[in-house]
Amino acid sequence: MEKIAIDTAGTKSEILVGERWEKAGALLPDKGVIIISDDNVFRLYGDKFPPFPVFSIKPGESSKKLEVIELLAERLLGAGIDRSGFILAIGGGVVCDIAGFLASVYMRGVRCAYVSTTLLSQVDASTGGKNGVNLGNTKNIIGTFLQPEFVVCDPAMLMTLPDEEYLSGLAELIKTAVIGNEKLFGLIEDNHDGIISRDRELLEFLISMAIKYKASVVSEDERETGLRRVLNFGHTFGHAIEMYKATKHGFAVASGMELAVSYSFKRGYLEVSEKERIIALLKRFDLLRYHDIPDNQLYQYIVHDKKKSGSEIYFVFASGIGRAVAEKVPVSEIFDFYRQNRKDRKNRSL
């Protein structure tokens, strides 16, 4: 088991990688705890939850909305939870997002922690303190920052994930490697079979590497005013694909990364060999999905992206395997790139 610390202004969060999730109960207060989970996780693990009330939500992206936050806040109030309360999330990215958002606004802030049950959540969503909900078709446009006191990442919980959910999380692991750790990228390339078979020791090592990189970024730039922007690699196009096609987050981000890699090559940030190597890895794990977003829809998704500033948007380019840079780019240029890419793909298929 490895402890990874995230130190930000006035707060400290500990990520416990390889800790058995059942031990989370020993880290909680004796009273005033509410557990938030979803129906799938509760069905699989609920009999081993710590002995506190459980509020279970519907699984999936459809629960990431203010109405769910309001309903849960009413239930907290009804349960007598006050400023001394503690919220423990046991679930994947959606559950952790909702629990963190709720903890940050209920009575102007209560303590929280997460038991992260999916690969996507363990390598990305549960680390860093960002919490967001969707507004209609706009992804994570309403959000807060609150660092969880601790996050337990137990690779044993990944054994019960459906294949699609597991592979979706793998995309975020690859994203971290592309932007920040060339050694991690090589390890993913060299360990295809072990990753597919969900070798627990291997996963614990890879997850730790990914979290260490993200922890270093968040500790330097908690509020995403500079360096942290690179964590959005693949997400500008990825979020548009996710919302238009109702694609699982990781697969949408993988397709967004493919576009971002091609864009990076066009801008001169990547060598052709690096471009081909990254795309080959995404294809090897069968992460890429077909997308063909109409012009009017794409424009709406991009202009509503929370990274937009005026007529420009911070777009993340890969500047080599293990390196990335966020640059302000005109929205019109990003829009034109996607249209040209779509045209090129159609021409190649003729």
Query: Do 182 and 265 belong together in one domain?
Result: yes
Q: Chain-wide mean pLDDT for the chain?
A: 95
Long-range contacts of 141-144 (CB under 8 A, 24+ apart): 141/304, 141/306, 142/66, 143/101, 143/306, 144/100, 144/101, 144/104, 144/105
- The answer, yes or no, to whether residue 307 has pLDDT greater than 90, is no
DSSP assignments along 294-322, one per residue: -HHHHHHHHHT-TTEETTEEEEEEE-STT
Single-letter amino acid code for the residue at 261: V
Query: Do 171 and 273 belong together in one domain?
Result: yes
**Could you say which of 105, 126, 160 is where a domain stops?**
160
d(CA 213, CA 234): 17
pLDDT tens for each residue of 4-58: 999 887 788 999 999 999 999 999 999 999 999 999 999 999 999 999 999 999 9
Structural domain containing residue 171: 163-349
Four-residue CA torsion sign, 105, 41, 199, 252: negative
d(CA 190, CA 192): 6
d(CA 59, CA 117): 13
CATH, residue 145: 3.40.50.1970
- Position 17 scores a pLDDT of 97
pLDDT tens for each residue of 213-257: 999 999 999 988 899 999 999 999 999 999 998 899 999 999 999
Question: Residues of the chain with pLDDT > 70: what percent?
Answer: 99
| Residues 224/257, Cβ–Cβ less than 8 Å | no
| Domain count for the chain | 2
Query: Do 37 and 173 belong together in one domain?
Result: no
- The answer, yes or no, to whether residue 269 has pLDDT greater than 60, is yes
What would the two tokens of residue 40 be? 């799938």
Among 337, 335, 330, 332, which Cα is nearest to 297's? 335
d(CA 35, CA 103): 12
Query: Do 244 and 257 belong together in one domain?
Result: yes
**Could you say which of 125, 160, 195 is where a domain stops?**
160
Query: Do 245 and 135 belong together in one domain?
Result: no
End-to-end, the C-alpha distance of the chain in Å comes to 53
- The answer, yes or no, to whether residue 125 has pLDDT greater than 80, is no
What pTM was estimated for this model as a whole? Answer: 0.94
Query: Do 150 and 220 belong together in one domain?
Result: no
Query: Do 54 and 187 belong together in one domain?
Result: no
**Could you say which of 107, 137, 160 is where a domain stops?**
160
Among 88, 79, 95, which Cα is nearest to 39's? 95
Query: Do 176 and 309 belong together in one domain?
Result: yes
Query: Do 58 and 196 belong together in one domain?
Result: no
Query: Do 333 and 231 belong together in one domain?
Result: yes
Classify residue 148 by its DSSP letter.
Answer: -
DSSP assignments along 104-136, one per residue: HHGGG--EEEEEE-SHHIIIIITSSSEEEEEET
CATH, residue 274: 1.20.1090.10
Query: Do 114 and 13 belong together in one domain?
Result: yes
**Can you list the positions of beta strands (E) in the chain?**
2-8, 11-17, 33-38, 54-57, 86-91, 111-116, 130-135, 138-145, 150-153, 308-309, 312-318, 324-330
d(CA 336, CA 83): 50
pLDDT tens for each residue of 136-180: 888 899 999 999 999 999 999 999 999 999 999 999 999 999 999
Four-residue CA torsion sign, 154, 159, 162, 168: positive
- Position 345 scores a pLDDT of 84
Exposed/middle/buried for 116, CB within 10 Å: 0-12, 13-18, 19+?
Answer: buried
pLDDT tens for each residue of 58-85: 999 999 999 999 999 999 999 999 999 9
d(CA 132, CA 136): 13
Query: Do 285 and 151 belong together in one domain?
Result: no
